[in-house]
Amino acid sequence: MSSVDAVVVGAGPNGLAAAVTLARAGLRVELFEAADTVGGGTRTAELTLPGFRHDVCSAVHPMAPPSPFFRAFELERRVELVTPEISYAHPLEGRPAGIAYRDLDRTAERLGRDGAAWRNLFAPVAAHPDRIGRFTAAPLLRIPANPVTVARFGMRVLEQASPAWSLRFRDDTAPAMLTGVAAHSIGRLPGIAPAGVAMTLAGHAHAHGWPIPIGGSQAIADAMADDLLAHGGSITTGTRIADLRDLPAAKATVLDVSARALLELGGHSLPPGYRRALSRFRFGDAVAKVDYALSEPVPWTDPDLHAAPTFHIGGTRAQIARSEREVAAGRHPSRPYVLGSQPTIVDSSRAPAGRHVVWAYTHVPRGSTLDPTQIVTAEIERHAPGFRDTILASASRSAAQFAEYNPNYVGGDISAGAVTLAQLLRRPVLSPVPWRTPIPGVYLGSSSTPPATGVHGMSGYQAALYALRDRFGLEAPQLGVED
Ligand SMILES: Cc1cc2nc3c(=O)[nH]c(=O)nc-3n(C[C@H](O)[C@H](O)[C@H](O)COP(=O)(O)OP(=O)(O)OC[C@H]3O[C@@H](n4cnc5c(N)ncnc54)[C@H](O)[C@@H]3O)c2cc1C
């Protein structure tokens, strides 16, 4: 007789969400993780100097508040999340930065003659963040529960994906701000997937805001691991699973691994059609990152940047589109897009008194071994002269090193699969229940499944809910804090 009911492989936010859901349903759950600590893309560590704590991967959490999993789990009662007034900023040379305040009207006011266009673009999305959250958390194949809101959202996505994407704006700032968010998807611009990402994330910026966890993203992983242990689950770290046949016998297995790893772990039991579909699944371009320990805050030229925990650098819409095209063509752009976070302006626990940390990454071709320190530092310096002089230490990770750090980041693709329209429909296969694999009892719950990348726990949660229903005849358990 098996000593466990369910096994989970991989302790990223999706694996942890699956394990918590299964354990809360009363099952005996064992979780295996390749690394020495839990967290996957939600780890925080001293990467530079003692006392400076850096988010190794995710840092900012726009996907957490609207996530049905985190809602049920009552994340905000377990982790202190700071929601800044400024969701993101976009410094521009020779003129004021674009600032996306959580307050839509304030954002519009600052945009001057493009204010009304920005307000019209986001008002319907920001008014119904939960409907948009539910829609983007489900496979695109499903009929939406709120067709009117979704249709409005869809029209805006189509507009921002078309060559006429700047038609509603008269100045450069608003399009640059939108493009800074669209570029999170890593790929050619404009396009449907980046436009969807832009409308979703920028919509959340004006609805729930873009929260930062006190203590770093590790706090989110730890909250889930604690809940799992409190409900009888066990966690084995330092164990990379190479074959499904090495796992303890269990009625259900949820894999927080990439679509490619599913092929490696279970290829022997998968039918040829499914194997072919997995082998056609494409991985995208990559990120390379720098973490800085600073003696003082970043000396931004634009004073409004001092209050912006998240910033996008890369110039105008056309300049960002050009640098993303370069990456897609396999080249390192000379003026790259940089996504950054300065969490110590809202969380002083990350560094010794008066000191700061900055987290910043840029896009590079998949598999790149480029150390991004020089190019990222130069881009920040462009908008913050003197930045170099504030650096006490830095640590970098190339795309190739990200792939070594976490097997889900194939070639340094942090989304476990390219974020394209085709792969939002077919993630990793075209199915209304893409979390179910053809192997009875085996479910895929990583960001190689909907709703793709980000810290939301929804891929693992959905996989666990299907496992509970199919294998145990159980419905969704209560996940909230037990008083
Ligand atoms: C630099 C960077 C910045 C990011 N910034 C953000 C951000 O600010 N906000 C945001 O929302 N998202 C961000 N992301 C993306 C986010 O981290 C991921 O989308 C998220 O972590 C995916 O969760 P997951 O559980 O699917 O996989 P992961 O978090 O990748 O976890 C997978 C886990 O499974 C383990 N594993 C894999 N294969 C095996 C195996 N065979 N055996 C045992 N264990 C295995 C891995 O070691 C890993 O711990 C960022 C990612 C990176 C790399």
CB-based contact 15:256 (threshold 8 Å): yes
User: Is the residue at 72 inside a domain?
Assistant: no
User: In this model, does residue 456 exceed pLDDT 90?
Assistant: yes
Ligand 1 centroid, distance to 89 Cα (angstroms): 25
What is the Cα–Cα distance from 398 to 332, expressed in whole angstroms?
12
What is the Cα–Cα distance from 337 to 184, expressed in whole angstroms?
10
What is the Cα–Cα distance from 183 to 274, expressed in whole angstroms?
31
Ligand 1 test: best mutation among 397, 442, 453, 462, most atoms within 8 Å of CB? 453
User: In this model, does residue 468 exceed pLDDT 90?
Assistant: yes
Ligand 1 centroid, distance to 12 Cα (angstroms): 5
CB-based contact 248:7 (threshold 8 Å): yes
User: Is the residue at 352 inside a domain?
Assistant: yes
Q: Are residues 295 and 151 part of one domain?
A: yes
CB-based contact 384:302 (threshold 8 Å): no
CB-based contact 370:193 (threshold 8 Å): no
Dihedral class, residue 37 (left if φ above 0, else alpha if ψ from -120 to 50, else beta): beta
Q: Are residues 394 and 343 part of one domain?
A: yes
User: Is the residue at 250 inside a domain?
Assistant: yes
Give per-residue pLDDT as tens, 176-204: 999 999 999 999 999 999 999 999 999 99
CB-based contact 176:89 (threshold 8 Å): no
Quickly state the pLDDT bin for 2 (edges 50, 70, 90): low
What average pLDDT does this structure show over 200-209? 96
- Last residue of one domain, picked from the residues 404, 428, 444: 404
What average pLDDT does this structure show over 206-232? 98
Would the CB of 66 count as within 6 Å of ligand 1? Answer: no
User: In this model, does residue 1 exceed pLDDT 80?
Assistant: no
The pLDDT value recorded for residue 143 is 72
CA 50, 55, 61, 64 torsion-angle sign: negative
User: In this model, does residue 52 exceed pLDDT 50?
Assistant: yes
User: In this model, does residue 138 exceed pLDDT 80?
Assistant: no
Amino acid identity at 225: A
| pLDDT > 90 fraction of the chain, expressed in percent and rounded | 93
Would the CB of 310 count as within 6 Å of ligand 1? Answer: no
Q: Are residues 444 and 422 part of one domain?
A: yes
Q: Are residues 323 and 253 part of one domain?
A: no
Would the CB of 452 count as within 6 Å of ligand 1? Answer: no
Q: Are residues 294 and 195 part of one domain?
A: yes
What is the Cα–Cα distance from 122 to 201, expressed in whole angstroms?
11
Q: Are residues 399 and 427 part of one domain?
A: no
Would the CB of 261 count as within 6 Å of ligand 1? Answer: yes
Ligand 1 centroid, distance to 427 Cα (angstroms): 16
Rounded to the nearest integer, the mean pLDDT of the chain is 96
What is the Cα–Cα distance from 139 to 128, expressed in whole angstroms?
19
Q: Are residues 272 and 347 part of one domain?
A: no
Quickly state the pLDDT bin for 140 (edges 50, 70, 90): low
User: In this model, does residue 221 exceed pLDDT 80?
Assistant: yes
What average pLDDT does this structure show over 206-211? 96
Q: Are residues 244 and 187 part of one domain?
A: no
User: Is the residue at 482 inside a domain?
Assistant: no
Segments forming the whole domain that contains residue 360:
80-205+284-404
Quickly state the pLDDT bin for 331 (edges 50, 70, 90): very high
Ligand 1 centroid, distance to 10 Cα (angstroms): 9
User: In this model, does residue 80 exceed pLDDT 90?
Assistant: yes
The pLDDT value recorded for residue 293 is 99
- CA-based nearest residue to 9, from 229, 265, 281, 277: 265
Could you identify the residue written with the tokens 């519009």?
A: 108
User: Is the residue at 10 inside a domain?
Assistant: yes
User: Is the residue at 392 inside a domain?
Assistant: yes
Would strands 391-397 and 356-364 be described as parallel, antiparallel, or unpaired? Answer: unpaired
Q: Are residues 243 and 327 part of one domain?
A: no
State the CATH number of the domain containing residue 258.
3.50.50.60
Q: Residue 31: beta bridge partners? A: 8, 235
Helical (H) or strand (E) element with 43: none
The pLDDT value recorded for residue 202 is 97
Q: Are residues 185 and 315 part of one domain?
A: yes
User: In this model, does residue 144 exceed pLDDT 90?
Assistant: no
Q: Are residues 428 and 400 part of one domain?
A: no
User: Is the residue at 21 inside a domain?
Assistant: yes
CA 43, 212, 215, 481 torsion-angle sign: negative
Q: Report CA Rg, the chain.
A: 21
Ligand 1 centroid, distance to 147 Cα (angstroms): 32
Would the CB of 54 count as within 6 Å of ligand 1? Answer: no
Domain total for the chain?
2
User: Is the residue at 68 inside a domain?
Assistant: no
Would strands 286-294 and 356-364 be described as parallel, antiparallel, or unpaired? Answer: antiparallel
Q: What 3-state DSSP class applies to 196?
A: helix
The pLDDT value recorded for residue 3 is 84
Angle at 135 between CA 134 and CA 137, to 5 degrees: 65
Burial class (CB in 10 A: 0-12, 13-18, 19+), 380: buried
Residue owning the nearest CA to atom 32 of ligand 1: 12
- Last residue of one domain, picked from the residues 404, 432, 453: 404
**In whole angstroms, how far apart are CA 329 and each of 148, 188, 333, 365, 475?**
38, 9, 10, 8, 47
Strand ordering across the sheet containing 95-101? 95-101, 86-92, 310-313, 338-341, 356-364, 286-294, 391-397
- CA-based nearest residue to 454, from 190, 225, 186: 186
Ligand 1 test: best mutation among 455, 458, 459, 461, most atoms within 8 Å of CB? 455
Q: Are residues 201 and 185 part of one domain?
A: yes
Ligand 1 centroid, distance to 462 Cα (angstroms): 17
Ligand 1 test: best mutation among 337, 364, 406, 458, most atoms within 8 Å of CB? 406
- Last residue of one domain, picked from the residues 347, 376, 404: 404
What is the Cα–Cα distance from 227 to 25, expressed in whole angstroms?
12
Residue owning the nearest CA to atom 21 of ligand 1: 41
Give per-residue pLDDT as tens, 311-327: 999 999 999 999 999 99
